[in-house]
Structure 1
Protein backbone atom coordinates (compact mmCIF):
# COMPACT_ATOMS: atom_id res chain seq x y z
CA UNK A 1 0.00 0.00 0.00
CA UNK A 2 1.28 3.46 -0.87
CA UNK A 3 1.59 6.17 1.77
CA UNK A 4 -1.12 8.44 0.33
CA UNK A 5 -3.57 5.98 -1.20
CA UNK A 6 -7.09 7.48 -1.13
CA UNK A 7 -5.77 10.71 0.41
CA UNK A 8 -6.72 14.11 -0.97
CA UNK A 9 -3.68 16.38 -1.12
CA UNK A 10 -4.01 20.10 -1.84
CA UNK A 11 -0.85 21.96 -2.85
CA UNK A 12 -1.13 25.74 -2.82
CA UNK A 13 1.67 26.87 -5.12
CA UNK A 14 2.38 23.70 -7.06
CA UNK A 15 3.04 24.53 -10.70
CA UNK A 16 6.84 24.76 -10.38
CA UNK A 17 9.84 24.14 -8.15
CA UNK A 18 9.35 22.49 -4.77
CA UNK A 19 5.58 22.43 -5.14
CA UNK A 20 5.70 20.59 -8.46
CA UNK A 21 8.34 18.16 -7.20
CA UNK A 22 6.11 17.37 -4.23
CA UNK A 23 3.06 17.01 -6.48
CA UNK A 24 4.84 14.39 -8.57
CA UNK A 25 5.87 12.47 -5.46
CA UNK A 26 2.42 12.63 -3.90
CA UNK A 27 0.92 11.36 -7.17
CA UNK A 28 3.41 8.48 -7.27
CA UNK A 29 2.35 7.63 -3.71
CA UNK A 30 -1.32 7.33 -4.68
CA UNK A 31 -2.70 10.75 -3.74
CA UNK A 32 -5.60 12.51 -5.38
CA UNK A 33 -4.24 15.96 -6.14
CA UNK A 34 -5.48 19.52 -6.23
CA UNK A 35 -2.91 22.13 -7.21
CA UNK A 36 -3.11 25.91 -7.32
CA UNK A 37 -0.76 28.41 -8.93
CA UNK A 38 -0.65 31.63 -10.91
CA UNK A 39 0.71 30.35 -14.23
CA UNK A 40 -2.18 29.02 -16.33
CA UNK A 41 0.05 27.45 -18.99
CA UNK A 42 2.10 25.51 -16.45
CA UNK A 43 -1.04 24.44 -14.61
CA UNK A 44 -2.47 22.96 -17.81
CA UNK A 45 0.70 20.95 -18.32
CA UNK A 46 0.65 19.72 -14.72
CA UNK A 47 -3.02 18.75 -14.97
CA UNK A 48 -2.26 16.63 -18.02
CA UNK A 49 0.88 15.08 -16.54
CA UNK A 50 -0.54 14.18 -13.12
CA UNK A 51 -4.28 13.90 -13.79
CA UNK A 52 -4.73 16.56 -11.10
CA UNK A 53 -7.31 19.24 -10.42
CA UNK A 54 -5.37 22.41 -11.27
CA UNK A 55 -6.79 25.82 -10.41
CA UNK A 56 -5.40 29.23 -11.24
CA UNK A 57 -5.39 31.13 -7.95
CA UNK A 58 -3.29 33.88 -6.37
CA UNK A 59 -2.89 33.22 -2.65
CA UNK A 60 -2.62 36.95 -1.95
CA UNK A 61 -6.24 37.31 -3.08
CA UNK A 62 -8.52 35.87 -0.40
CA UNK A 63 -11.51 35.66 -2.74
CA UNK A 64 -9.49 33.55 -5.20
CA UNK A 65 -8.31 31.30 -2.38
CA UNK A 66 -11.87 30.77 -1.16
CA UNK A 67 -13.05 29.98 -4.68
CA UNK A 68 -10.22 27.49 -5.20
CA UNK A 69 -10.96 25.74 -1.90
CA UNK A 70 -14.64 25.55 -2.79
CA UNK A 71 -13.75 23.90 -6.09
CA UNK A 72 -11.46 21.46 -4.29
CA UNK A 73 -14.26 20.55 -1.89
CA UNK A 74 -16.75 20.06 -4.73
CA UNK A 75 -14.34 17.90 -6.74
CA UNK A 76 -12.37 15.93 -4.15
CA UNK A 77 -14.73 16.12 -1.19
CA UNK A 78 -12.20 17.45 1.29
CA UNK A 79 -8.52 17.70 2.17
CA UNK A 80 -6.36 15.18 4.05
CA UNK A 81 -3.02 16.94 3.46
CA UNK A 82 -2.57 20.67 2.90
CA UNK A 83 0.81 21.81 1.59
CA UNK A 84 1.09 25.61 1.69
CA UNK A 85 4.01 26.33 -0.62
CA UNK A 86 3.08 29.55 -2.44
CA UNK A 87 5.60 32.30 -1.85
CA UNK A 88 7.46 35.21 -3.38
CA UNK A 89 10.92 36.62 -2.77
CA UNK A 90 12.47 40.03 -3.07
CA UNK A 91 15.53 41.84 -1.85
CA UNK A 92 15.79 45.45 -0.69
CA UNK A 93 18.09 47.10 1.80
CA UNK A 94 16.37 48.73 4.78
CA UNK A 95 16.49 52.33 3.39
CA UNK A 96 14.96 51.12 0.11
CA UNK A 97 12.00 49.16 1.50
CA UNK A 98 8.72 50.81 0.54
CA UNK A 99 5.29 50.07 2.04
CA UNK A 100 4.27 48.64 -1.33
CA UNK A 101 7.25 46.28 -1.44
CA UNK A 102 6.65 45.18 2.17
CA UNK A 103 2.96 44.54 1.51
CA UNK A 104 3.72 42.61 -1.70
CA UNK A 105 5.97 40.18 0.18
CA UNK A 106 3.73 39.81 3.22
CA UNK A 107 0.44 39.53 1.32
CA UNK A 108 1.65 36.24 -0.14
CA UNK A 109 4.12 34.78 2.35
CA UNK A 110 2.27 35.55 5.59
CA UNK A 111 -1.20 37.01 5.18
CA UNK A 112 -2.12 34.82 2.22
CA UNK A 113 -0.74 31.66 3.82
CA UNK A 114 -2.55 32.23 7.12
CA UNK A 115 -5.96 32.87 5.59
CA UNK A 116 -5.55 29.96 3.19
CA UNK A 117 -5.02 27.66 6.18
CA UNK A 118 -7.91 29.24 8.07
CA UNK A 119 -10.29 28.78 5.14
CA UNK A 120 -9.08 25.23 4.47
CA UNK A 121 -9.66 23.95 8.00
CA UNK A 122 -13.37 23.22 7.55
CA UNK A 123 -12.45 21.01 4.60
CA UNK A 124 -9.95 18.95 6.60
CA UNK A 125 -10.80 15.82 8.49
CA UNK A 126 -9.48 15.15 11.97
CA UNK A 127 -6.05 13.54 11.90
CA UNK A 128 -4.91 15.39 8.79
CA UNK A 129 -1.64 17.16 8.16
CA UNK A 130 -0.53 20.65 7.19
CA UNK A 131 2.96 21.34 5.87
CA UNK A 132 4.14 24.90 5.25
CA UNK A 133 7.17 26.06 3.28
CA UNK A 134 9.26 28.40 5.40
CA UNK A 135 12.84 29.51 4.87
CA UNK A 136 16.12 29.60 6.72
CA UNK A 137 15.84 33.32 5.96
CA UNK A 138 13.55 33.56 8.98
CA UNK A 139 16.56 33.15 11.26
CA UNK A 140 19.54 34.03 9.05
CA UNK A 141 20.41 37.73 9.16
CA UNK A 142 20.93 38.30 5.43
CA UNK A 143 21.32 41.96 4.39
CA UNK A 144 18.59 43.01 1.97
CA UNK A 145 16.24 40.28 3.15
CA UNK A 146 14.36 42.16 5.86
CA UNK A 147 10.84 42.02 4.37
CA UNK A 148 11.07 38.36 3.35
CA UNK A 149 12.70 37.30 6.62
CA UNK A 150 10.05 39.08 8.68
CA UNK A 151 7.26 37.38 6.72
CA UNK A 152 8.79 33.92 7.07
CA UNK A 153 9.52 34.46 10.77
CA UNK A 154 5.89 35.44 11.24
CA UNK A 155 4.87 32.35 9.30
CA UNK A 156 6.95 30.19 11.64
CA UNK A 157 5.32 31.70 14.72
CA UNK A 158 1.88 31.32 13.17
CA UNK A 159 2.49 27.67 12.31
CA UNK A 160 3.39 26.80 15.90
CA UNK A 161 0.25 28.44 17.28
CA UNK A 162 -2.00 26.87 14.66
CA UNK A 163 -0.46 23.49 15.50
CA UNK A 164 -1.21 24.01 19.18
CA UNK A 165 -4.81 25.07 18.56
CA UNK A 166 -5.44 22.08 16.29
CA UNK A 167 -4.28 19.48 18.81
CA UNK A 168 -7.89 18.53 19.71
CA UNK A 169 -8.46 17.67 16.04
CA UNK A 170 -5.16 15.75 15.76
CA UNK A 171 -4.15 17.85 12.75
CA UNK A 172 -0.38 18.13 12.75
CA UNK A 173 1.24 21.36 11.52
CA UNK A 174 4.89 21.38 10.50
CA UNK A 175 7.20 23.58 8.48
CA UNK A 176 9.98 22.81 6.00
CA UNK A 177 12.59 25.56 5.69
CA UNK A 178 14.80 25.21 2.61
CA UNK A 179 18.23 26.70 2.26
CA UNK A 180 19.65 27.69 -1.14
CA UNK A 181 17.69 25.52 -3.59
CA UNK A 182 18.12 25.24 -7.35
CA UNK A 183 14.64 26.29 -8.48
CA UNK A 184 13.32 28.56 -11.21
CA UNK A 185 13.07 31.62 -8.95
CA UNK A 186 16.65 32.83 -9.25
CA UNK A 187 16.82 32.00 -12.97
CA UNK A 188 14.14 34.42 -14.15
CA UNK A 189 15.36 37.06 -16.58
CA UNK A 190 18.97 35.89 -16.15
CA UNK A 191 21.58 34.82 -18.68
CA UNK A 192 23.25 31.39 -18.46
CA UNK A 193 26.39 33.13 -17.16
CA UNK A 194 24.42 34.97 -14.47
CA UNK A 195 22.64 31.77 -13.46
CA UNK A 196 25.94 29.90 -13.08
CA UNK A 197 27.43 32.79 -11.14
CA UNK A 198 24.46 32.72 -8.75
CA UNK A 199 24.80 28.95 -8.37
CA UNK A 200 28.49 29.28 -7.55
CA UNK A 201 27.85 32.05 -5.03
CA UNK A 202 25.01 30.24 -3.26
CA UNK A 203 26.90 26.93 -3.25
CA UNK A 204 29.85 28.65 -1.56
CA UNK A 205 27.76 29.52 1.52
CA UNK A 206 26.37 25.99 2.00
CA UNK A 207 28.57 23.83 4.25
CA UNK A 208 27.76 20.72 2.23
CA UNK A 209 29.18 22.51 -0.83
CA UNK A 210 26.22 22.70 -3.21
CA UNK A 211 22.66 23.93 -3.58
CA UNK A 212 19.78 21.66 -2.74
CA UNK A 213 17.26 20.35 -5.24
CA UNK A 214 13.49 20.70 -5.26
CA UNK A 215 13.22 16.93 -4.91
CA UNK A 216 15.31 16.90 -1.73
CA UNK A 217 12.98 19.42 -0.11
CA UNK A 218 9.88 17.65 -1.45
CA UNK A 219 10.90 14.34 0.10
CA UNK A 220 10.92 16.07 3.48
CA UNK A 221 7.45 17.46 2.81
CA UNK A 222 6.09 14.00 2.09
CA UNK A 223 7.68 12.58 5.22
CA UNK A 224 6.13 15.24 7.46
CA UNK A 225 2.75 14.81 5.76
CA UNK A 226 2.77 11.04 6.17
CA UNK A 227 1.94 8.70 9.03
CA UNK A 228 5.68 8.11 9.40
CA UNK A 229 5.80 11.51 11.13
CA UNK A 230 2.80 10.83 13.38
CA UNK A 231 4.68 11.99 16.51
CA UNK A 232 6.09 15.16 14.94
CA UNK A 233 4.16 18.39 15.41
CA UNK A 234 5.22 22.04 15.40
CA UNK A 235 8.70 21.41 13.97
CA UNK A 236 10.56 23.77 11.63
CA UNK A 237 12.80 21.35 9.77
CA UNK A 238 15.70 22.99 7.92
CA UNK A 239 16.64 21.34 4.62
CA UNK A 240 19.66 23.49 3.98
CA UNK A 241 22.87 21.50 3.64
CA UNK A 242 23.90 22.55 7.15
CA UNK A 243 23.60 26.33 6.73
CA UNK A 244 21.88 26.96 10.06
CA UNK A 245 23.20 23.96 11.94
CA UNK A 246 26.84 24.18 10.85
CA UNK A 247 27.15 27.76 9.67
Structure 2
Protein backbone atom coordinates (compact mmCIF):
# COMPACT_ATOMS: atom_id res chain seq x y z
CA UNK A 1 0.00 0.00 0.00
CA UNK A 2 1.40 3.40 -0.99
CA UNK A 3 2.28 6.02 1.57
CA UNK A 4 0.49 9.36 1.77
CA UNK A 5 2.03 12.82 2.01
CA UNK A 6 0.19 16.02 2.85
CA UNK A 7 1.93 19.06 1.40
CA UNK A 8 0.80 22.52 2.43
CA UNK A 9 1.64 24.88 -0.43
CA UNK A 10 1.74 22.39 -3.28
CA UNK A 11 1.83 25.09 -5.99
CA UNK A 12 5.00 26.74 -4.71
CA UNK A 13 8.38 25.91 -6.19
CA UNK A 14 9.45 23.58 -3.39
CA UNK A 15 6.02 22.10 -2.72
CA UNK A 16 5.39 21.26 -6.37
CA UNK A 17 8.86 19.77 -6.82
CA UNK A 18 8.36 17.51 -3.82
CA UNK A 19 4.86 16.51 -4.92
CA UNK A 20 6.07 15.50 -8.38
CA UNK A 21 8.98 13.52 -6.93
CA UNK A 22 6.75 11.63 -4.51
CA UNK A 23 4.20 10.86 -7.22
CA UNK A 24 6.97 9.27 -9.29
CA UNK A 25 7.93 7.23 -6.24
CA UNK A 26 4.40 5.87 -5.97
CA UNK A 27 3.14 8.03 -3.14
CA UNK A 28 -0.38 9.33 -2.78
CA UNK A 29 -0.01 13.10 -2.45
CA UNK A 30 -2.61 15.49 -1.07
CA UNK A 31 -1.83 19.17 -1.51
CA UNK A 32 -3.24 22.50 -0.43
CA UNK A 33 -3.07 25.87 -2.14
CA UNK A 34 -5.05 29.07 -2.30
CA UNK A 35 -5.97 28.17 -5.90
CA UNK A 36 -7.45 24.68 -6.15
CA UNK A 37 -7.49 24.71 -9.96
CA UNK A 38 -3.79 25.42 -10.09
CA UNK A 39 -3.13 22.79 -7.43
CA UNK A 40 -4.99 20.13 -9.43
CA UNK A 41 -2.47 20.58 -12.23
CA UNK A 42 0.09 19.16 -9.80
CA UNK A 43 -1.83 16.66 -7.68
CA UNK A 44 -5.28 15.08 -8.13
CA UNK A 45 -6.03 15.39 -4.41
CA UNK A 46 -6.01 19.19 -4.20
CA UNK A 47 -7.71 21.36 -1.60
CA UNK A 48 -8.23 25.12 -1.55
CA UNK A 49 -6.91 26.47 1.74
CA UNK A 50 -5.71 29.87 2.92
CA UNK A 51 -3.40 29.15 5.86
CA UNK A 52 -3.77 32.74 7.06
CA UNK A 53 -7.42 31.96 7.83
CA UNK A 54 -8.07 29.45 10.66
CA UNK A 55 -11.60 28.74 9.39
CA UNK A 56 -10.27 27.98 5.91
CA UNK A 57 -7.71 25.59 7.38
CA UNK A 58 -10.37 23.85 9.47
CA UNK A 59 -12.65 23.43 6.47
CA UNK A 60 -9.77 22.22 4.33
CA UNK A 61 -8.70 19.59 6.84
CA UNK A 62 -12.28 18.34 7.10
CA UNK A 63 -12.29 17.88 3.32
CA UNK A 64 -8.88 16.17 3.36
CA UNK A 65 -10.07 13.76 6.05
CA UNK A 66 -12.84 12.63 3.72
CA UNK A 67 -10.30 11.55 1.10
CA UNK A 68 -7.36 10.06 2.99
CA UNK A 69 -7.08 7.69 5.93
CA UNK A 70 -3.83 8.93 7.42
CA UNK A 71 -0.72 10.95 6.60
CA UNK A 72 2.76 9.38 6.57
CA UNK A 73 4.62 12.63 5.89
CA UNK A 74 3.36 16.11 6.75
CA UNK A 75 5.12 18.98 4.97
CA UNK A 76 4.58 22.73 5.32
CA UNK A 77 6.19 24.27 2.23
CA UNK A 78 4.53 27.69 2.32
CA UNK A 79 6.56 30.86 2.67
CA UNK A 80 6.56 34.52 1.74
CA UNK A 81 9.05 37.35 2.03
CA UNK A 82 9.08 41.13 1.96
CA UNK A 83 11.96 43.57 1.88
CA UNK A 84 10.88 46.73 3.67
CA UNK A 85 12.19 48.62 6.69
CA UNK A 86 10.27 48.52 9.96
CA UNK A 87 9.51 52.24 9.67
CA UNK A 88 7.97 51.79 6.21
CA UNK A 89 6.20 48.47 6.76
CA UNK A 90 2.46 48.47 7.41
CA UNK A 91 0.83 46.27 10.00
CA UNK A 92 -0.93 44.43 7.15
CA UNK A 93 2.39 43.65 5.48
CA UNK A 94 3.91 42.50 8.77
CA UNK A 95 0.95 40.21 9.44
CA UNK A 96 1.02 38.79 5.91
CA UNK A 97 4.61 37.59 6.31
CA UNK A 98 3.99 36.14 9.77
CA UNK A 99 0.85 34.38 8.54
CA UNK A 100 2.64 32.71 5.65
CA UNK A 101 5.74 31.66 7.56
CA UNK A 102 4.66 31.13 11.17
CA UNK A 103 0.98 31.50 12.04
CA UNK A 104 -0.01 29.26 9.15
CA UNK A 105 2.18 26.49 10.53
CA UNK A 106 0.28 26.62 13.81
CA UNK A 107 -3.15 26.65 12.16
CA UNK A 108 -2.21 23.77 9.85
CA UNK A 109 -0.72 21.43 12.45
CA UNK A 110 -3.32 22.34 15.07
CA UNK A 111 -6.14 21.22 12.80
CA UNK A 112 -4.50 18.28 11.04
CA UNK A 113 -2.33 16.48 13.58
CA UNK A 114 -5.06 13.89 14.15
CA UNK A 115 -4.44 12.72 10.57
CA UNK A 116 -0.83 11.76 11.27
CA UNK A 117 0.02 8.07 11.34
CA UNK A 118 2.26 6.67 14.07
CA UNK A 119 5.80 7.80 13.38
CA UNK A 120 4.88 10.27 10.64
CA UNK A 121 7.38 13.15 10.69
CA UNK A 122 6.48 16.82 10.40
CA UNK A 123 8.63 18.92 8.06
CA UNK A 124 8.45 22.72 8.12
CA UNK A 125 10.12 24.99 5.61
CA UNK A 126 12.46 27.25 7.53
CA UNK A 127 15.56 29.27 6.70
CA UNK A 128 19.00 29.95 8.03
CA UNK A 129 17.28 32.66 10.03
CA UNK A 130 20.37 33.95 11.82
CA UNK A 131 21.78 34.95 8.42
CA UNK A 132 18.53 36.67 7.40
CA UNK A 133 18.66 39.36 10.10
CA UNK A 134 19.31 42.03 7.51
CA UNK A 135 17.82 45.49 6.93
CA UNK A 136 14.40 45.09 5.36
CA UNK A 137 13.84 41.50 6.48
CA UNK A 138 12.51 42.05 10.00
CA UNK A 139 9.21 40.23 9.44
CA UNK A 140 10.75 37.30 7.57
CA UNK A 141 13.63 36.82 10.02
CA UNK A 142 11.31 37.06 13.02
CA UNK A 143 8.88 34.53 11.53
CA UNK A 144 11.57 32.00 10.66
CA UNK A 145 13.19 32.34 14.08
CA UNK A 146 9.74 31.74 15.55
CA UNK A 147 9.42 28.57 13.50
CA UNK A 148 12.56 27.21 15.16
CA UNK A 149 11.17 27.77 18.65
CA UNK A 150 7.74 26.48 17.68
CA UNK A 151 9.21 23.30 16.21
CA UNK A 152 11.29 22.62 19.32
CA UNK A 153 8.21 22.79 21.54
CA UNK A 154 6.18 20.77 19.04
CA UNK A 155 8.73 17.92 19.16
CA UNK A 156 8.32 17.68 22.92
CA UNK A 157 4.54 17.92 22.88
CA UNK A 158 3.86 15.57 19.98
CA UNK A 159 6.75 13.21 20.77
CA UNK A 160 7.52 12.73 17.10
CA UNK A 161 10.13 13.95 14.61
CA UNK A 162 9.68 17.60 13.67
CA UNK A 163 12.24 18.77 11.11
CA UNK A 164 12.84 22.41 10.20
CA UNK A 165 14.28 22.41 6.68
CA UNK A 166 16.95 25.12 6.60
CA UNK A 167 18.30 25.59 3.07
CA UNK A 168 20.86 28.33 2.58
CA UNK A 169 19.17 29.54 -0.63
CA UNK A 170 16.77 28.00 -3.13
CA UNK A 171 16.18 29.31 -6.63
CA UNK A 172 12.42 30.01 -6.50
CA UNK A 173 10.19 32.99 -7.25
CA UNK A 174 10.66 34.16 -3.66
CA UNK A 175 13.97 35.73 -4.66
CA UNK A 176 12.18 38.07 -7.07
CA UNK A 177 10.70 39.83 -4.04
CA UNK A 178 14.00 40.89 -2.49
CA UNK A 179 16.82 43.13 -3.73
CA UNK A 180 19.51 40.51 -3.16
CA UNK A 181 21.50 38.52 -5.68
CA UNK A 182 20.79 34.81 -5.73
CA UNK A 183 23.90 33.02 -4.43
CA UNK A 184 25.83 31.06 -7.02
CA UNK A 185 25.54 27.90 -4.89
CA UNK A 186 21.76 28.13 -4.51
CA UNK A 187 19.85 24.87 -4.78
CA UNK A 188 17.04 24.46 -7.26
CA UNK A 189 13.69 23.24 -5.97
CA UNK A 190 14.14 19.75 -7.40
CA UNK A 191 17.49 19.33 -5.64
CA UNK A 192 15.95 20.37 -2.34
CA UNK A 193 13.01 18.02 -2.85
CA UNK A 194 15.42 15.11 -3.36
CA UNK A 195 17.37 16.05 -0.23
CA UNK A 196 14.14 16.27 1.77
CA UNK A 197 13.05 12.85 0.52
CA UNK A 198 16.43 11.37 1.41
CA UNK A 199 16.12 12.90 4.88
CA UNK A 200 12.69 11.31 5.24
CA UNK A 201 13.92 7.90 4.11
CA UNK A 202 16.88 8.03 6.50
CA UNK A 203 14.83 9.37 9.42
CA UNK A 204 16.89 12.53 9.82
CA UNK A 205 16.11 14.64 12.86
CA UNK A 206 17.23 17.88 11.22
CA UNK A 207 18.04 19.14 7.73
CA UNK A 208 20.53 21.98 7.53
CA UNK A 209 21.74 22.77 4.01
CA UNK A 210 24.46 25.39 3.52
Provide TM-score, normalisation by structure 2: 0.91
Unaligned runs of 5+ in 2: none
- The CA distance in 2 between the partners of 1:14 and 1:138, in whole Å, is 27
Structure index of larger Rg: 1
Alignment of 1:63-82 (within 5 A): 63-82=55-74
- The CA distance in 2 between the partners of 1:74 and 1:218, in whole Å, is 27
How many residue pairs end up in the alignment? 210
* Residue equivalent to 1:178: 167
Unaligned runs of 5+ in 1: 189-194, 204-208, 243-247
Asked if 1:238 corresponds to 2:208, the answer is yes
Shift of 1:119: 1.2
Shift of 1:16: 2.7
Asked if 1:42 corresponds to 2:27, the answer is no
SS of 1:95's partner is: coil
- The CA distance in 2 between the partners of 1:100 and 1:29, in whole Å, is 41
Asked if 1:17 corresponds to 2:9, the answer is no
SS of 2:32's partner is: strand
1:202 is aligned, of 182, 190, 202, to: 182
- Taking a change above 3 Å as real, the CA distance of residues 132 and 79 of structure 1, as seen in their structure-2 partners, is same
1:223 is aligned, of 194, 198, 202, to: 198
SS of 1:119's partner is: helix
Alpha-carbon contact 2:102-2:147 (below 8 Å) kept: yes
- The CA distance in 2 between the partners of 1:143 and 1:27, in whole Å, is 40
* Residue equivalent to 1:245: none
Alpha-carbon contact 1:174-1:224 (below 8 Å) kept: no
SS of 1:144's partner is: coil
* Residue equivalent to 1:95: 87
Shift of 1:148: 0.6
Alpha-carbon contact 1:182-1:212 (below 8 Å) kept: yes
Alpha-carbon contact 2:12-2:78 (below 8 Å) kept: no
SS of 2:117's partner is: strand
- The CA distance in 1 between the partners of 2:75 and 2:136, in whole Å, is 28
Instruction: Give the CA RMSD over aligned residues.
Output: 2.1
Alpha-carbon contact 1:13-1:85 (below 8 Å) kept: yes
- Taking a change above 3 Å as real, the CA distance of residues 9 and 177 of structure 1, as seen in their structure-2 partners, is same
- The CA distance in 1 between the partners of 2:199 and 2:64, in whole Å, is 22
Alpha-carbon contact 1:139-1:153 (below 8 Å) kept: no
Higher helix share: 1
Provide TM-score, normalisation by structure 1: 0.78
- The CA distance in 2 between the partners of 1:73 and 1:151, in whole Å, is 29
SS of 1:88's partner is: coil
